[in-house]
Structure 1
Amino acid sequence: MAIEIERKFRVDGEQWREQAHASRRFEQGYLCGDGPASVRVRIEDDQANLNIKAAVVGTSRAEYEYAIPVAEAREMLATMCVAAPVIKTRHWVVHAGHTWEIDVFEGANAPLIVAEIELDDVDETFERPLWLGREVSDDRRYYNHALAFSPYADWADQA
């Protein structure tokens, strides 16, 4: 079984932008709402994937991903999703030997910016960049699946 170990954080400020070395635009939609897994179709520039993740909150969960034709992904996004797609641009930043993925959300999830770091071990240590805000790994609202159904713009506190 594939296990993803990931921590999520809010981003404070714009200093990370000068360190970004690559970017890709993502559009992703979910094929089911509730259940033991999230099933999503995602287009990343000119590639597409079907992704299945255990529907648990925290730093570690099962994840599977399979390449699919872009035309089929576009059709699924247009006809099969149970919520509006989540659109974002992902930027990659290397800091102190770790690669950070920084997602800048569009549409109903703007101006939310979230940084993620994938780790090899749940207890792995890492250096926090100055632009890193509070950790939100255990806050379900910050997961893309939740953002599809309850966009950031609808949050009362936007914290």
Structure 2
Amino acid sequence: MSESGFGDFEFERKFFVRELPAAAASDPTPALIVQAYLFASDGYAVRVRVQGPAPAELDATPAELVVTLGEESLGTMTAKGPAVGGTRYEAERELDPLVAAQIVGRSEHVIAKVRYSMWLGEDGWIIDQFLGRNAPLLLSEVERGSPVVDLAIPAFCVSEVSEDDRFRNEYLAHRPFGTWAGEYLAELEHRGPTFVDTLGRNQFEGS
């Protein structure tokens, strides 16, 4: 949720990543996120999330992983609207983490991921490393309190997927990346990387 006077809106851009960058891998406190989508249609979604410190062992189902988070985790419920131009309505409220964990553990459409955080230049970035049926997907995101314009894009960002609905978490919860990864990689090889060019001037690392 934005804290810069825009109310319940988030402003972010998202990118496909091939390998976990060293700056992310050095994060000493990565987070485990397990979240369920109770509803998702036409860009609208209702999500329940449990988040806490990532355990050393991640080879488990989402239902098993959520149990490892325990009482020190954070539980939230979020209502989302369709994304337009890197802006999306998002109203988030806290839940008792034990209640949130029970909801997630009983839900059908669930994803699990490890989130790494880092600071690059003027922006804070995250890398989400998806687990289970969404592995080996890696996505990077940058979020601001206002529209993300004139962005310095790191070299690890292979192609922008901010406007590709297939990379929204609610889509991945219903159609895991592992079931269509080959299709996407062939598409990327054929057309090459693309980046949104309507949000100011993109600045590419090394150019």
TM-score of the pair, normalised by structure 1:
0.89
Alpha-carbon distance in structure 2 between the residues aligned to 1:28 and 1:48: 10
The match for 2:172 is 147
Q: Secondary structure at the match of 1:52?
A: strand
Alpha-carbon distance in structure 2 between the residues aligned to 1:37 and 1:26: 20
| Of 184, 195, 198, the match for 1:158 | 184
- C-alpha spacing 1:53/1:39, structure 2 compared with 1 (3 Å): same
**Superposition pairs of residues 85-124 of structure 1, within 5 angstroms:** 85-122=110-147, 124=149
Say whether the 8 Å CA contact 1:19–1:94 is kept in structure 2: no
Q: Secondary structure at the match of 2:183?
A: coil
Structure 1 stretches of 4+ moved >4 Å: none
**Superposition pairs of residues 5-154 of structure 1, within 5 angstroms:** 5-15=11-21, 16-18=23-25, 20=27, 22-34=29-41, 37-45=44-52, 46-56=73-83, 58-79=85-106, 81-83=107-109, 85-122=110-147, 124-154=149-179
Alpha-carbon distance in structure 2 between the residues aligned to 1:36 and 1:125: 26
Q: Which AA in structure 2 matches 1:47?
A: L
Instruction: Give the superposition deviation at 1:129.
Output: 1.4
Structure 2: runs of 5+ lacking an equivalent: 1-6, 53-72, 186-207
Instruction: Give the superposition deviation at 1:33.
Output: 3.1
Instruction: Give the superposition deviation at 1:128.
Output: 1.6
Instruction: Give the superposition deviation at 1:56.
Output: 3.4
Alpha-carbon distance in structure 1 between the residues aligned to 2:26 and 2:155: 12
RCO comparison, higher one (Cα < 8 Å, 6+): 1
Say whether the 8 Å CA contact 2:76–2:95 is kept in structure 1: yes
Structure 1: runs of 5+ lacking an equivalent: none
Q: Secondary structure at the match of 1:32?
A: strand
Say whether the 8 Å CA contact 2:33–2:115 is kept in structure 1: yes
Paired-residue identity, %: 28
When structure 1 is superposed on structure 2, of 65-74 and 32-41 the one drifting more is: 32-41
- C-alpha spacing 1:34/1:26, structure 2 compared with 1 (3 Å): same
Alpha-carbon distance in structure 2 between the residues aligned to 1:117 and 1:73: 26
Q: Secondary structure at the match of 1:40?
A: strand
User: Aligned Cα RMSD in Å?
Assistant: 1.9
When structure 1 is superposed on structure 2, of 52-61 and 101-110 the one drifting more is: 52-61
Say whether the 8 Å CA contact 1:93–1:101 is kept in structure 2: yes
Q: Secondary structure at the match of 1:114?
A: strand
Instruction: Give the superposition deviation at 1:13.
Output: 2.9
Q: Secondary structure at the match of 2:184?
A: coil
Q: Secondary structure at the match of 1:29?
A: strand
Q: Normalized per residue, which structure has more strand?
A: 1
- C-alpha spacing 1:57/1:86, structure 2 compared with 1 (3 Å): farther
Q: Secondary structure at the match of 1:111?
A: coil
